[in-house]
Chains A and B, each alone.
Chain A
Amino acid sequence: MITIENLSKEFLQGQQSTEVLKGVNLNIKEGEFVAIMGPSGSGKSTLLQLLGGLDVPTNGTIQIDQKYLNGMTEKERTIFRRKKLGFVFQNYQLLSTLTVEENIAFPLHADGKLTNEKNRMIQELIESVGLDGLNRKRVNLLSGGQQQRVAIARALVNNPAVLLADEPTGNLDRAKAEEILSLFLKFHHENKQTIIMVTHDIFAAGFADRIVLFRDGVVDRVISRKDGDYAKYLASFMA
């Protein structure tokens, strides 16, 4: 479903170049829930940006659903992103002056007028993320947990094949984080969505099928519960 080959990314700051990704190779199966963990600056968020087509790699390729992101024009990438990918960010990135339903409907405007069917889908999403009755409330009046629910509904409104989440529970306490992760799990289970979640939290990563550890711009190890020494490795990795 997703094939990442020899992916690298360099950022230029004046004369100085920093290589954030240094040849990442990774395969993610359709319908898989993958957590990416690693220290700050290890390149995990950059990988997510490249996967989402929000930036382009310096070298290497990304294939999603048998399509190379590299070969696309900016416009093609935007359309691909809108149809195939959903994003959830740590700081929600909602339009603060709009209401819950306006935020969720936002990605649909690019495809033209809201039809009755689309409006019904928005209502269903609002219910499934547990925000019934808050349709017309402005999002800046909601709590952090509620805002993240709006962001998840917005990310899912196009029924994307892949959901990319960057520290989705980073700003939430344990109980609120649990609610958000339960929603991910529900959508992953019901819609077979592929989820790639960057997190620093082992309690969130535990929801995933696999944990990919990043260090210094490369995949350090892919953790599976079947490996006998995984816990020891994780303990020293997190030290």
Chain B
Amino acid sequence: MSVKYGILTLLFRQTHHGYELKLELDSLLGIKGKVNPGQIYTTLDRLIRDELVSSPGLDDQERKRYELNPKGKDELVGWLLEPIPNHGTKDDFFFKWNCARTIHFEQEKKMLEQQKAMIIEGVLELTKLKTELLLQNQEKRYLLISGMLFHLEADLNWINQVENRLR
């Protein structure tokens, strides 16, 4: 799970100081667990160096605040619209979608459709391979490919459910 994109997501909504970012990130990652504070500050340093984030100064309690630059916003939108390859884990897409919902991403529908296209491509390629293995009696490889297809089916069902609820 990417701390970088989690931070960009949270700063998209509003400015934050480091400790707030830690608490919000823990919540964004859900049950996947807590982020190490050191990791947040190293990532923030890198984001400032790359001009994706800047600091407008300190708040009234002298804590350093961070805000998103236009370049950071472009980076986040680009990432949201990039489908997760089928060999990636579904958690990667859940995280990305969670970030999209967090910022009320207006292109959520496009993002889901692109992910769906990626899955469908995988389904057709793997089914083709599966039929060849079936005809060649390659039982072990056939069952392995079948297992991958069951996972893709679950992912596709979930996207269909999200799309249906968006209507």
Instruction: List A residues at the B interface (Cβ < 8 Å).
Output: 174, 178, 182, 185-186, 189, 202-203, 206-207, 225, 230-232, 234-236, 238-239
Contacts and interface: CB of A to CB of B under 8 A. Distances in A.
B116 interface: yes
A234 B119 CA distance: 11
7 contacts: A174-B150, A202-B123, A207-B127, A225-B124, A232-B114, A235-B114, A236-B113
B113 A235 contact: yes
B72 to A, nearest CB: 28
Contacts of B149: 203
Contacts, number: 51
Nearest to B156: A202
A235 B135 contact: no
A232 B117 contact: yes
A131 B124 CA distance: 30
B150 A206 contact: no
Interface string B112-128: 01101110110111111
Given A174-B153, A225-B124, A225-B125, A185 B134 contact: yes
A202 B120 contact: yes
Given A207-B127, A225-B125, A235-B113, 10 more contacts: A174-B153, A178-B146, A185-B134, A206-B131, A225-B128, A231-B120, A232-B117, A234-B117, A235-B117, A238-B120
Interface residues of B, number: 22
Contact of A185 (B116, B121, B131): B131
A130 to B, nearest CB: 14
Contacts of B156: 202
Given A174-B150, A174-B153, A185-B134, A231 B124 contact: yes
B163 A206 contact: no
A183 to B, nearest CB: 11
Contacts of B135: 185-186, 189
Contact of A203 (B113, B127, B134): B127
B86 to A, nearest CB: 11
Contacts of B146: 178
Contacts of A189: 135
B164 to A, nearest CB: 10
Nearest to A182: B134
Contacts of A202: 120, 123-124, 156
A107 to B, nearest CB: 28
A185 B128 CA distance: 11
Pick the 8 closest A-B CB pairs, nearest first.
A206-B127, A231-B121, A235-B117, A235-B116, A231-B117, A232-B117, A231-B120, A206-B124
A41 to B, nearest CB: 19
A164 to B, nearest CB: 20
Contacts of B121: 230-231
A186 B136 CA distance: 11
